[in-house]
Amino acid sequence: MRWVLYPIAGLVALAILGMATLAAMSILAWPNLPSLESLTDYRPRIPLRVYTSDGHLLGEFGEERRTVVRIADVPPTLKQAILAAEDERFYEHPGIDMLGIARAALSNIASGGRGQGASTITMQVARNFFLSREKTYNRKLYEILLALKIERSLSKDQILELYINQIYLGQRAYGFSAAARAYFNKPLAEITLPEAAMLAGLPKAPSAYNPIVNPSRAALRQQYVLRRMVEAGFIDEATYHDASEAATVRAKAIEPVRRSSVSHGDYVAEMARQIAVEQFGEEAYQLGIRIVTTVTQADQDAAYAALRRGVLDYDRRHGYRGPETFVDLPAGHDEERYDEALADTTDYDDLLAALVLDASAKSVKVYRHGSTQEITGDGLRFVTPMLSDKAPQARRIRRGAIVRIRDTGEKGWEILQLPEVQSALVSMDPHTGAIRALVGGFDFNRNKFNHVTQAIRQPGSSFKPFIYSASLERGYGPGSLVEDEPLYFPAGVTGSQAWEPKNYDGKYDGLMTLRDALARSKNLVSIRVLQSITPQYAQDYVGRFGFDPSRHPPYLTMALGAGGVTPWEMASAYGVFANGGYRVEPYIVKEIYDGTGRLVAKMDPPVAGESAPRVIDPRNAWLMDSMMQDVVRRGTATRARALGRNDLAGKTGTTNDYLDGWFCGYNPDLVAIAWMGFSQPKNMGRGETGGSSALPIWVNYMKTALANSPEKARERPPGLVSVPTGDGLREDFVYEENKPATPPVLPDLPASLFSDHGPATEAPEEALPQVPAAPPRATQPPAPVVDRVPTPVQR
């Protein structure tokens, strides 16, 4: 038997020698362990976050998505799921679990590798803060020693809190709170047991068990965590079965996350980001800065919905262009090939990419992420011409086509397309300049160019109110009569080519009041008025509204909106009419807080009627408001009457060749500007006026924005007297000193009233002529336009 004892003695000796060596190495390594200051003074990288004024998240920026939570605020089910999946004996062991290490060692010896690590939660904290992820025995020794040191310095709850906030869980999410937002779009406190199990399964391999990238593997890992929770005694069998069934349903329903923000405010968030970087540099992305904007969630979502509806309606009017692309599909059903075909196609909010498996005149079968859908009836109305065998092969919907589908709710799915046309909507409080909503384009992820602040476009007839406002200061009144008759300027007068401007409908109504001319958007009347007051005077006058006079050359074409403006500028300018004559500056950032929650900057804007400068006479503002109310009541903007209000005013605008459509309107408490056009200007199609393209967007937005706002009647300011109108049908008002209103006699037309290159030959449709000397219709500056920076708080 002696020969049996020799090997055992040898093994014992080797074990003693190994333990002695390990002890010696530990003694030598202990003094070289890093300080735990980064744990005891935990300062994680927290991204820049942008919020609405009522506290809803608009967007976040930074390499690491993270929201720090206290251990007391972590749901018990999540803590239990984490312990079951990662370290069941966490609250019992001293930082290392000897049973787990022994089990892992035996497994590694048996397999001849180093696949099992047996890391406790404390060891994972040590690795995440101080060590690399390389699998070496030397690194493992340091990990064990650090775990023991951490356990001597922090409580178990403090260690678990660090783990819950620091661990990487995929989708740029660090910590479980950020992961709950990234995967389930909900706060940590609201996650269910199946969701907690899925999150708890991520630390082992975030990429492998990512429910977005690998939903099937994530579901298997989720089931494993739920079984471990039963084995650990955290849940009973009945709870396990209920959660398991719910988890299966959830796994099948997982869709790729299309948005990182709660509200549809990507353009607003980007403007706020630019301000933060301007103020704080690149560190803005990790200091936990919180920016509160002026927009409200209800207004922002209403603006987003109205704009997308308006753009999609425009797209329907102009027909289906065909599938985005085609892929070759083998015969039979091959989901792996289908997923591969869709892999490089991005979803844009509710416009989802789908692969056509079969198509006929009455039915289209599409595939998307493991499921198929048959679309029939009204869902095919938009694409019916492209289902015919006679449709061009390059545009016909057939097997292998990539199309866009959208869930309309009760009416089921429909096939649409990604629009090419763009639009913009901005609304503002005219008393303070606070932006209430801003959408700079159809989809930020597709086109980040902000058409509200960056697109310099011709305003067309929406610029006429500023010319008419100038005329009131030169002796005109709303009831003044001006000829609506043809004008012709020969080349000898213009200094270049002949110019014969026209009204949209090609009709002329003779003498008419300025009120009627504005309501009906008469081009010839506007030109005669500008001729009378002189373009030089008008150019100087429009600067009062915040326009850059250099972008509005002093030529007669200014009467038709031949200059260059942005929707942002138009909101500010129309605000002067809305608030009674005061100039307020639009702004979008309300407050900025640092990572500790300290207020570091706050906007203190001038207020209309208090600290804002008065730029036009209150009588002028009242008369212009009265005239633009007639635009809504009986002019080119009668669609706005659908809102059933009597305090709405505004003006449509359409530029030459239907390049731009505008509606600029307001009531005493809210200004909103809607625009539609192509980023690179081109004809939107005959009949696409501001009243048909932009006005419906404005109406749909205002329907929500003014829902709880009572009507407001404007009080007539002193200094106005009643006079009969020139047509004798009703009374009107003029400045008291101008009674009776006698406009100046029209002067002769010098060539200086025209551009150096001469005016264009035609101005159809409440529109403007092509003027070579005018600014470009759209520009994309090298540096994005950003809002003013709030004033730092003085402390």
Contact of 412 with 406, CB cutoff 8 Å: no
**325 pairs with which residues across the strands?**
402
**Residue 340 annotated among the catalytic residues of the structure:** no
Two structure tokens written together for 360: 């006929």
Q: Quick one: 479 exposed, middle or buried, by C-beta within 10 A (0-12, 13-18, 19+)?
A: buried
Q: Quick one: 492 exposed, middle or buried, by C-beta within 10 A (0-12, 13-18, 19+)?
A: exposed
In angstroms, the CA 379 to CA 382 distance is 7
Contact of 701 with 672, CB cutoff 8 Å: yes
Contact of 705 with 651, CB cutoff 8 Å: no
The dihedral built from the CA positions of residue 117, 123, 128 and 130, taken in this order, carries a sign that is negative
Give 408-444 as a 3 state SS string.
CHHHCEEEECCCCCEEEEEEECCCCCEEEEEECCCCC
Instruction: Considering the candidates 177, 260, 423, 461, report the single residue annotated as catalytic.
Output: 461
* Length in residues, the chain: 795
**Residue 88 annotated among the catalytic residues of the structure:** no
Q: What is the DSSP letter of 654?
A: E
Residue whose tokens read 């892929």: 327
Give 580-600 as a 3 state SS string.
CCECCCCECEEEEECCCCCEE
Two structure tokens written together for 509: 């109504």
193-200 vs 76-86: helix crossing angle, rounded to 10: 40
Distances in Å between the Cα of 4 and the Cα atoms of 9, 11, 16, 93, 675 are 9, 12, 19, 36, 93
What backbone torsions phi and psi does residue 312 show, to the nearest 5 degrees? -65, -35
Peptide bond into 740 cis (omega under 30): yes
Q: Which of 713, 717, 755, 756 is nearest to 734 (CA)?
A: 717
Instruction: Considering the candidates 60, 64, 86, 765, report the single residue annotated as catalytic.
Output: 86
Query: Cβ atoms within 10 A of the Cβ of 334, count?
Result: 12
Distances in Å between the Cα of 243 and the Cα atoms of 77, 381, 754 are 12, 42, 76
User: Exposure pattern of 286-302 as b/e (b: 16+ CB <10 Å)?
Assistant: bbbbbbbbbbbbbbbbb
- Residues ≥6 apart with Cβ < 8 Å to 690: 460, 461, 462, 636, 652, 653, 654, 660, 661, 662, 663, 766
**735 pairs with which residues across the strands?**
720
- Residues ≥6 apart with Cβ < 8 Å to 55: none
Q: Which of 200, 201, 202, 195 is nearest to 246 (CA)?
A: 195
Distances in Å between the Cα of 463 and the Cα atoms of 283, 426, 526, 582, 747 are 43, 17, 10, 18, 23
Q: Which residues are catalytic?
A: 86, 461
